Each structure stands twice: as C-alpha cells, then as structure tokens.
Amino acid sequence: MTGNMGSIFSNTLEAVAPIKLKKVREKRTVPWYNSNTHSLKKETHSLERKWRKTNLEVFRIAWKNRMSSYRQALKTARAEHIHKLVENNQNNPRFLFSTVARLINNQMPPDLNIPSQLNSNDFMNFFTDKIDNIRNTITNVDSTVSNTSALFIAPKDKLQCFTTIGQEELNKLITASKPTTRLLDPVPTKLLKELIPVTEEPLLNIINSLSLGHVPKPFKLEVIKPLIKKPQLDPSELANYRPISNLPFMSKLLEKVVSAQMCSFLQKNYLYEEFQWGFRPHHSTETAIVKITNDLLLASDQGCISLLVVLDLSAAFNTIDHDILIDRLQNYTGIQGHALRWFRSYLSDRYHFVYLSGESSHPSPIKYGVPQGSVLGPLLFSIYMLPLGNIIRKYWISFHCYADDTQLYTSTRPDETSKLFKLRECVKNLKDWMTNKFLLLNSKKTEILLIGPRRMYCYFLYSQKSGCYIRQ
C-alpha cells in the first residue's frame, strides 16, 4: 500500500504540476518588519528623493534624521521579536538552540562547500568502511565481562503490541510536524499537509500497520547527508564528516507514534536509566551540567579533590549490534509479541545511499547501528546502553550520561587511594563491556580533569606516586 500510495502521489503531481525550471526573484521580509518600520522606510525614501531633486540642505538633514529613526526602529523591532521567541519557547531547547545558532551565524557549511573531487560514492564507501573497520578492530572479551543482566530486574508489565491511532491523533501529529521535504518524499510535505482531508484514510492505514508487527519497505530506505562536524575543519577530508540520515516524512510519522508509546511504557515502568538525560522530557544538557557542577563544588567545599573522566565513543550510533539491541528490548524492557516483531522488521533489510550534488551513490545494506536523524535512533541507543549504570554503581562512582557521552567522577581526600583504584577498575570494566557490545572507546578523546582547591593539587599528585593512576 505504501509503495502504491507514493507512486500515485508522484504520478498525479507530475501530471497536474510538472517540474519546470524558472528563475524566481523572491522578495524576503524579516519577521520583525512591521507597519511602523514600513512607514518609516517610505518616509525615508520620500525625503531622499526630495533632497536629490532639490539639493536643499533642509531635506538632506531631514532624510538623515529619518534614516536614523528607521534604523533604530528596526533594531528595536528585532530585539522585541527575539525576546518574544525566547519567552514563548522556554521549554523548547531545540528551538532555542537553533535560534541562538542563527543569531551568531553559527551555521554549518552547505553542500556547495564540499570539494568537487569528492563524490557520493566516495562518501558511501568511507562511511561503510569506517564502521566495518571499527567492528573488525573490536576484540570480544566475554571472559572478562561480568554478567550485568543479573543486576537488572525485568519489568512485570509487557508491551505486546502497539496501539493504533485515530484520525484526530493523526491530524495533530501531522500539524505539529515541520513541513520539511526530503528526497524520498513523493510529494512536498507542505502539500501533503494541505491534503489531509483527502489522504487521511490511506495515511491512517499505513500508520496503523504497526499493529501487525511490520514496517513498510519504502520506510527502510535512507538518504545520507554528509555533514561536516565543525565549520573550521578541512572539507576535503572525509573523516571530518558524519552521516546524517534523512527519512521520508511518513516514515517519521510512524516512528513518532511508536516513540510516544515506547516512552510512555518506559516511564510507567521506571525503565529509564536515572542518570541518562539524553532525549528525555524535562532533561537537557543544561540540567546535566548543573547537576555535575553542583556535585563537584560541594566536594571542593569539603576540601576534597575530584577526578572527572569524560568517555568518548567512536561512531557509537553506527556500531551497535542488532541482535544485542533486540535482546535489550525483549529482556530488559519487556517488549514482546507484535511489538518486538515490529522492531525486528524495523532493523532488518534497511538500505541507505549518499545523495550529493544531484548524484546518488550505490545503495548499501545497513548491517549495524541505528540511523542518526531518525526519531527512534536516540531512544534505541539509550535502551542499548541500559546495563552501563549497573556496572558503574558497583564501584560507587558518580556518573552522568547524555546519549553516547558518559562522565564519571569521584571525590576523595588527597591522601586516600581507594576511590582512585575503584575509578580505574570501573573504567577498565566499562571498556571491556563496551568492547563486548561492539562499542569502541576512543582513548585519544577520553579526557581526565582534576578539580578541587588548587593548593591541594601538588600534594594530591605527590601522594599518588604509589602507582594509583588512570591511563587515558
């Protein structure tokens, strides 16, 4: 049904509105441009014309004064507009982040900045080989990894199948979604949203197919957009790009329905890791930083030295093992029946390709990982990492996680060594566990920070010469 619907959309659109190339001169107006600024602009232009026509000084002075008033009005209107945006979106960190990034011009370079010698197949081969190489370099260490499943109590409640939705819920979902059109969308998303009264029933049937434990095949194809990691990096180096998956609009609608029911189930059964704050309601990087900073300051006030270990994983979202993830869903979160079958279908027979400068690469099967840029990707990664907290708690080490970033920290007196030995053993156990689960700890980017009263640094370092230290 999904494939037929997409074909009908594409063919109908081509028949009634075929694509034509035409230069359009778009006159853009900023959102804070109002009637007052419009009036001042007209008066400014009028005075300028009078001055140029008569060459009288009185009109030149009046023009300059009106120009100054116009510019000041623009600044005031812009400031008021931004103030309203921030005030009305205090609980929307994604919107606030994009707004601040836009204000400081912190925008990533567009595709046009990618050197012409790099083509779509270069990126596709690099992304595929990178993950294969990481997986090949990881050595299984089953014999040294403790059984973390014994520490985890499986929930009594089970999620056997996903609940179908009604027309009202579908309308709310579509209305709240951004009208972003991707390459695989058969029609522009903005047009699809306007056609809800006509397309509502077939869309509802496609979404509600989730109750059968099956994901439509067209929803398993992803377009990869190479995104440079930092603006200052060399764009000619393939290693400086990360793959961001773009999925069809209807696919993301389906994932949003599943994500909402999954999050509700996890919340109801207290299955979230308490200190995993990534992609959860009422949790953010800001609240995570406040929590860690407060703990470190309290320890410093008590005369303790703290060690903060920041762990970094290489391509964590792309290396996770599908069989292990299914085991997490089944045995750690209680997903069974049609719901588990749906996730098996979601993870299997997926393909992706790179689209760059109007050219598509060869399609490549997705053997590992969850798609970055998807709705379910972050949630599935958090479930994959559920045993991590139990490992750390065995050593009485404080920790905090945000998606694939993990911070370990412990506080101690300068002359004590027991906690440092525990921290070192904890890091070693975590590395073994991650290796066993096909996650590569990046030693080059894993950092250690010493925090506390400066007067104690030398004494602390001297007292640790007995050999209690942590290697990165």
Q: What is the pLDDT of residue 188?
A: 83
Q: How crowded is residue 268: how many other Cβ atoms within 10 Å of its Cβ? A: 11
pTM of the model as a whole: 0.78
R_g (Cα) of the chain, nearest Å: 28
CB 130 within 8 A of CB 369: no
CA distance 65 to 41: 12
Q: Can you give the pLDDT at residue 452? A: 76
Per the CB < 8 A criterion, the answer to whether 399 and 408 are in contact is: yes
Quick: pLDDT tens for 73-122.
Answer: 999 999 998 888 888 887 777 777 777 777 776 554 444 468 888 899 99
CA-CA distance, 47 to 51, in Å (whole number)?
6
Using one digit for the tens of pLDDT, what is the confidence trace for 148-178? 554 566 678 899 999 999 989 998 998 888 8
pLDDT of residue 469: 42
pLDDT at 471: 38
Average pLDDT, the chain: 84
pLDDT at position 141, please? 45
Q: Which of 256-270, 315-329, 392-406, 445-459 has the lowest mean pLDDT?
A: 445-459
Cross-strand pairs, 225: 244
Mean pLDDT on 276-283: 76
- pLDDT (tens digit, 9 = 90+) per residue, 310-367? 998 988 899 999 999 999 999 999 999 999 999 999 999 999 999 988 899 999 999 9
The DSSP bridge partners found for residue 32 are none
Q: 255 pLDDT exceeds 90? A: yes
